[in-house]
Amino acid sequence: MKDLLNFIVTSLVTKPEAVVIDEQREDGTVNLNLTVDQSDMGLIIGKSGQTIRAIRKLLTVRAIAENIRINLQLTEPQPASQASSE
């Protein structure tokens, strides 16, 4: 599931090296947290959220085939100054 999301997102963004996907599996559910560069957030969300909805639908189709549930959360990237201090 993570590989599919990575392929889709890195094909869309301008900074594919900044894509971070955190996958957690529990009780037949896969939770994916997607973080992209701040400048790519608009590309991933799309006009009126159309792009992120389309990505979620593609993941849902794959999840149905694998008989699991999927949740995709797009998270805000942390500023570089805050990430380095932790």
Contacts of 55 (CB under 8 A, 6+ apart): 5, 8, 9, 44, 72
pLDDT in tens, 9-38: 999 999 999 999 999 999 989 999 999 999
pLDDT band, residue 78 (cuts 50/70/90): confident
Residue 18 CA to residue 40 CA, distance in Å, equals 9
CATH numbers and ranges of domains, the chain? 2-81 (3.30.300.20)
pTM score, whole prediction: 0.84
Mean pLDDT over the full length of the chain: 91
